[in-house]
Chains A and B, each alone.
Chain A
Amino acid sequence: DIVMTQSPSSLAVSAGETVTINCKSSQSLFWSGSQMNYLAWYQQKPGQSPKLLIYYASTRQSGVPDRFIGSGSGTDFTLTISGVQAEDLAVYYCQHHYDSLPYTFGAGTKLELK
Chain B
Amino acid sequence: QVQLKESGPGLVQPSQTLSLTCTVSGFSLTSYNVHWVRQFTGKGLEWMGVIWTGGSTDYNSALKSRLSISRDTSKSQVFLKMNSLQTEDIATYYCVRDQYYYSGDFDYWGQGVMVTVSS
Contacts and interface: CB of A to CB of B under 8 A. Distances in A.
Interface of A: 38, 40, 42, 44, 49-52, 55-56, 61, 91, 93, 95-99, 101-105, 107-108
Contact of A61 (B45, B62, B107): B107
B77 to A, nearest CB: 19
Contacts of A107: 43-44
B26 to A, nearest CB: 15
Contact of B60 (A51, A93, A95, A102): A102
Contacts of A93: 45
A93 B45 CA distance: 9
Given A97-B104, A99-B104, A49 B109 contact: yes
B97 to A, nearest CB: 10
B45 A98 contact: no
A108 B43 contact: yes
Interface string B34-71: 01000000011111001000000010111000000000
A49 B60 contact: no
Interface residues of B, number: 23
B47 A104 contact: yes
A58 to B, nearest CB: 13
A101 B103 CA distance: 12
A99 B109 CA distance: 21
Contacts of A108: 43-45
A57 B99 CA distance: 15
A47 to B, nearest CB: 10
B47 A103 contact: yes
B104 A38 contact: yes
Contact of B105 (A91, A95, A101, A102): A95
Contacts of A61: 107
Given A101-B58, A105-B45, A52 B94 contact: no
B104 A98 contact: yes
